[in-house]
């Protein structure tokens, strides 16, 4: 045997035993988007490298070391998207969706980052994202946060995640604060770890986000961005907090929440959990009023978030989910005429009952071995068709879960009988 080929490290197969959980989350998310009036946008997985450099920022972790960048056959530098916002803004500008308009958009799909794979951190992972364009006020920031809060409630994990918010102020206020912070940190440069020293002149705000325990006292003592907000940003933030209070959404103002991407301004937020170890951020977002212009569009306020599906699905690991995939019935077919007749009968049943999940046996074998397979499939009912039944026009229905009882009905009346059974099962 030749050596088998494995998947790329950090890029996972999602197997049929796991996909029901994914489909469930996806279904809840899609319904939520419709409920809030958001429209889906589908974007390419590959974009020009330049797009990410110009939006996410040259000195961010993503652009510095995480992107899958390659030359295509024309020599153009392309990148597998590490996130969705840049592509969404690019598409919005390109198709004239943004100027003088309000757009409420969502997208879903795989993202790619060359990180060290570990639990909750992969090289191909999946996000749902939401982006709103054309609305500058805190009310829309609140809408996004309320929408995510509702998502957790619908997934029955409201107790597991909590909200952290912060404001980064206007670009100008942030620049002024940045100077102050750099001066303060420079005076204490010998207390900085290597990472932070490197970031001191490239991305000093990220130092505040350091997870190094040895750095925590220093970070705690550093000047706070919230204290240096411009007046408009402070108003914006206070109004947002009031709106969250009024809606009964609990939050913690975390002055150290800065987010790793360059394009944010004003509101930033994260939903975090303690249940996933170091990879605790399930959803992250914020306002990025400068990005559309930065990418060549007209100035357009914008706000959005992205949530990581792997982490969400991991949180749902133990939850009891409605079962939408186990077959309702397994059709047992013994003998040649039954096999032929049974396949036609199955198609008639599918015509009559579009929601019926019916698994048709294939591959022959005795009644006994087929019934074993029917049982293993998890189906509630076995429908049994042999040569006798073909002659009499009947079919046997065996209850595999409850009483084990078996009854005969006319094949022509089978759809009606099954409809009655389906009505007693809630999915």
Chain residues binding ligand ATP by CB under 6 A are: 83, 113, 115, 120-122, 125, 127, 260, 279, 281-284, 306-308, 310-311
For helices 231-247 and 138-154, angle between their N-to-C axes, nearest 10 degrees: 30
Question: Collapsing DSSP states into helix, strand and coil, what is residue 168?
Answer: coil
| Residue with Cβ nearer ligand ATP (181 or 276) | 276
CB of residue 279 vs ligand ATP: minimum separation in angstroms?
A: 6
Integer angstrom CA distances of residue 23 from 67, 172, 323, 395: 28, 43, 11, 34
| Residue with Cβ nearer ligand ATP (198 or 373) | 198
CB of residue 302 vs ligand ATP: minimum separation in angstroms?
A: 15
CB of residue 299 vs ligand ATP: minimum separation in angstroms?
A: 24
| Largest distance between two CA atoms of the chain | 94
- Cα gap 285→303, rounded to integer Å: 8
Integer angstrom CA distances of residue 53 from 74, 148, 153, 272: 20, 29, 36, 27
CB of residue 115 vs ligand ATP: minimum separation in angstroms?
A: 5
Q: Residue 124's closest CA among 138, 137, 114, 134?
A: 114
CB count within 10 Å of CB 137 equals 14
CB of residue 31 vs ligand ATP: minimum separation in angstroms?
A: 21
**What contacts 209, CB < 8 A, 6 or more positions away?**
256, 257, 258, 260
| Residue with Cβ nearer ligand ATP (309 or 418) | 309
- Cα gap 236→226, rounded to integer Å: 12
| Residue with Cβ nearer ligand ATP (120 or 297) | 120
Q: Where are the alpha helices (DSSP H) in 287-335?
A: 291-294, 309-315
CB of residue 129 vs ligand ATP: minimum separation in angstroms?
A: 8
- Cα gap 206→259, rounded to integer Å: 8
| Residue with Cβ nearer ligand ATP (279 or 369) | 279
| Residue with Cβ nearer ligand ATP (69 or 279) | 279
| Residue with Cβ nearer ligand ATP (54 or 113) | 113
Name the closest residue to ligand ATP (Cβ).
Answer: 308
CB of residue 238 vs ligand ATP: minimum separation in angstroms?
A: 25
CB of residue 253 vs ligand ATP: minimum separation in angstroms?
A: 18
| Residue with Cβ nearer ligand ATP (234 or 256) | 256
Sign of the torsion formed by the C-alpha atoms of 306, 307, 309 and 310: positive
Q: Residue 94's closest CA among 337, 318, 297?
A: 297
């Amino acid at each position: 045997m030749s050596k088998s080929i494995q998947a790329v490290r950090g890029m996972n197969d999602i197997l049929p035993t796991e996909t029901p959980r994914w489909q469930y989350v996806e279904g809840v998310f899609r319904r939520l988007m419709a409920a809030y009036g958001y429209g889906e946008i589908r974007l390419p997985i590959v974009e020009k490298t330049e797009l990410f450099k110009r939006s996410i920022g040259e000195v961010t972790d993503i652009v510095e070391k995480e992107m899958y960048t390659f030359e295509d056959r024309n020599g153009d530098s392309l990148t597998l998207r590490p996130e969705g916002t840049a592509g969404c803004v690019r598409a919005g500008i390109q198709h004239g969706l943004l100027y003088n308009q309000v757009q409420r958009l969502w997208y879903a799909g795989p993202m790619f980052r060359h990180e060290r794979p570990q639990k909750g951190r992969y090289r191909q992972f999946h996000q749902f994202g939401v982006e709103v364009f054309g609305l500058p006020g805190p009310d829309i920031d609140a809408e996004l946060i309320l929408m995510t809060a509702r998502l957790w409630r619908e997934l029955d994990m409201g107790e597991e995640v909590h909200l952290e918010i912060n404001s980064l102020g206007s670009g100008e206020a942030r620049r002024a604060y940045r100077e102050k912070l750099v001066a303060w940190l420079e005076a204490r440069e010998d207390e900085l770890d290597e990472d932070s020293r490197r970031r001191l002149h490239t991305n000093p705000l990220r130092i505040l986000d350091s997870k190094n325990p040895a750095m925590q006292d220093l970070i705690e003592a550093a000047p706070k961005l919230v204290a240096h907000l411009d007046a408009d940003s402070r108003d914006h933030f206070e109004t947002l907090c009031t709106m969250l209070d009024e809606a009964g959404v609990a939050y913690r103002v975390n002055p150290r929440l800065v987010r790793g991407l360059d394009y944010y301004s004003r509101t930033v937020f994260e939903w975090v959990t303690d249940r996933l170890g170091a990879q605790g951020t399930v959803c992250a977002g914020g306002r990025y009023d400068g990005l559309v212009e930065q990418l060549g569009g007209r100035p357009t306020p914008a706000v959005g978030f992205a949530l990581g599906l792997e982490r969400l699905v991991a949180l749902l690991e133990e939850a009891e989910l409605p079962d939408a995939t186990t077959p309702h019935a397994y059709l047992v077919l013994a003998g040649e005429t039954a096999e032929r007749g049974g396949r036609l009968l199955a198609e008639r049943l599918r015509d009559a009952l579009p929601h019926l999940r019916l698994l048709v046996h294939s591959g022959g074998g005795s009644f006994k071995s087929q019934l074993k397979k029917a049982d293993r499939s998890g189906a509630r009912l076995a429908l049994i068709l042999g040569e006798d039944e073909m002659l009499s026009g009947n079919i046997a229905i065996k209850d595999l879960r409850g009483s084990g009882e078996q009854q005969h009905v006319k094949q022509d009346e089978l759809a009606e009988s099954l409809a009655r059974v389906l009505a007693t099962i809630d999915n």
